[in-house]
């Protein structure tokens, strides 16, 4: 009897709540029993709430590792789009499993035994990718239209100081000011604009006052305070479309020499869009326009005067890469009692620590 595993995936929270992943697993278990295969619980791999357009998924990663180690001989999947909605990723994964000697069986797609059946499987993968692109574009345009109409339900929740009120049959979704939290927001702006306190000092002040964060934690981080000072919602203008997904352009030299990028790395990155492309949505203001704009000016001034904002060239920039992982090295420094020492560090090592 061949060692058999099951892989199932749903991409949305709604699908998870509707137990559609359970129906996939039930159908695959039934098929396995008909084939005389027993599936132990530890060989059922699930990814709930993970998009089929990305490769890095916890369940899939574990499955790929076991397949590479030779611990699996057959993988049962409900349909090709459960493996991936991108045709290129389907091909990549199927080739990877094939090299490991693993047979992949799709319950809703016949096993390709002839060139014609192989072509049909490829068409199914391309159609699934096209349908996903269509759905994504309709969702994007729908959200953009709702944002232009001033509806806050396109935003990902409400920031600190506000309560998100869900829409009802009689009213649209809205932001409601939480006065206790709003006082903290005003105090942060006052300390920054009137008392000239640094962002780090403000975070320490909030911690000393034992003021709880939105999540009920007692520790405020500098990044949280910085985000509060940068968020235009506090002056009464929430913004939609501030970021976008973009294809990664940069490939390190060792990876390029090997023929491309690592399939386990994300092929996209998030970047901030130009300010004129943001869509403004009116919400209740907590601070005045003048206070917010002055805080923004101070942040920009601090950025320009920051010691980290150096324009001095790095001699080996773009030329040195890590011999272990292929990531680029970057310049860093440390200060001793006598002098400042410069050296190169591996970005991957820093990210992992």
Question: 120-159: string of b/e by CB count within 10 Å (b at 16+)?
Answer: ebeebbeebbeebeeeeeeeeeebeebbeeebbebbeebb
Give the global pTM.
Answer: 0.57
pLDDT score at 348: 52
Q: How many CB atoms lie within 10 A of CB 204?
A: 15
pLDDT score at 20: 82
pLDDT score at 18: 55
pLDDT tens, N- to C-terminus, the chain (353 residues)? 789 999 999 987 555 555 689 999 999 999 999 999 989 999 999 999 888 888 889 899 999 999 999 999 999 999 988 998 888 888 889 899 999 999 999 998 766 667 877 777 778 777 877 887 788 888 888 988 999 999 998 887 899 999 999 988 888 899 999 999 999 999 999 999 999 999 999 999 999 999 999 888 888 999 999 999 999 999 999 999 888 766 554 444 444 444 444 444 455 567 778 888 889 999 999 999 999 999 999 998 887 776 555 556 667 766 777 776 666 777 777 777 778 788 887 755 544 43
Domains, the chain = 4-131 (3.40.50.1390), 152-239+279-305 (3.90.1750.20), 243-277 (no CATH), 313-353 (no CATH)
Supply 30's token pair.
């039934």
SS3 248: coil
pLDDT score at 262: 45
pLDDT score at 323: 74
Q: For tokens 């995936």, name the residue.
A: 9
DSSP assignment of 249-286 equals ----HHHHHTTS--TTS-SEEEEEPPGGG-EEEE---S
Helix axes 222-230, 199-208, angle to 10 degrees: 110
pLDDT score at 282: 94
């Amino acid at each position: 009897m061949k060692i058999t595993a099951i892989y199932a995936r749903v991409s949305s929270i709604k699908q998870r709540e509707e137990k559609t992943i359970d129906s996939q697993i039930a159908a695959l278990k039934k098929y396995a029993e008909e084939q005389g295969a027993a599936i132990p619980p530890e060989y059922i791999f699930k990814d709930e709430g993970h998009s089929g357009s990305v490769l890095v998924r916890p369940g899939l990663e574990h499955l790929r590792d076991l397949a590479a180690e030779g611990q699996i001989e057959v993988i049962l999947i409900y349909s090709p789009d459960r493996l991936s909605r991108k045709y290129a990723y389907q091909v990549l994964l199927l080739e990877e499993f094939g090299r490991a000697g693993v047979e992949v069986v799709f319950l809703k797609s016949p096993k390709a035994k002839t060139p014609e059946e192989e072509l049909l499987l490829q068409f199914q993968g391309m159609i699934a990718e096209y349908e996903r692109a269509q759905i994504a574009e309709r969702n994007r345009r729908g959200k953009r239209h709702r944002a232009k109409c001033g509806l806050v339900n396109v935003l990902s929740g409400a920031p600190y100081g506000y309560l998100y009120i869900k829409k009802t049959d009689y009213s649209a979704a809205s932001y409601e000011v939480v006065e206790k939290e709003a006082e903290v927001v005003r105090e942060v702006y006052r300390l920054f604009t009137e008392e000239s306190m640094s962002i780090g000092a403000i975070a320490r002040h909030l911690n000393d006052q034992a003021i709880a964060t939105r999540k009920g934690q007692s520790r405020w981080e500098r990044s949280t305070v910085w985000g509060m000072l940068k968020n235009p919602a506090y002056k009464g203008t929430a913004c939609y479309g501030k970021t976008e997904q973009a294809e990664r352009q940069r490939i390190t030299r060792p990876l390029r020499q090997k023929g491309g990028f690592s399939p386990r790395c994300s092929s996209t990155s998030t970047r901030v869009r130009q300010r004129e492309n943001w869509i403004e949505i009116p919400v209740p203001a907590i601070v005045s326009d003048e206070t917010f704009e002055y805080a923004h000016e101070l942040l920009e001034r601090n950025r320009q005067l920051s010691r980290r904002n150096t324009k001095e060239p790095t001699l080996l920039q773009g030329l040195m890469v890590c011999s272990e992982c292929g990531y680029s090295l970057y310049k860093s420094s440390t200060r001793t009692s006598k002098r400042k020492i410069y050296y190169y560090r591996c970005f991957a090592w820093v990210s992992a620590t």
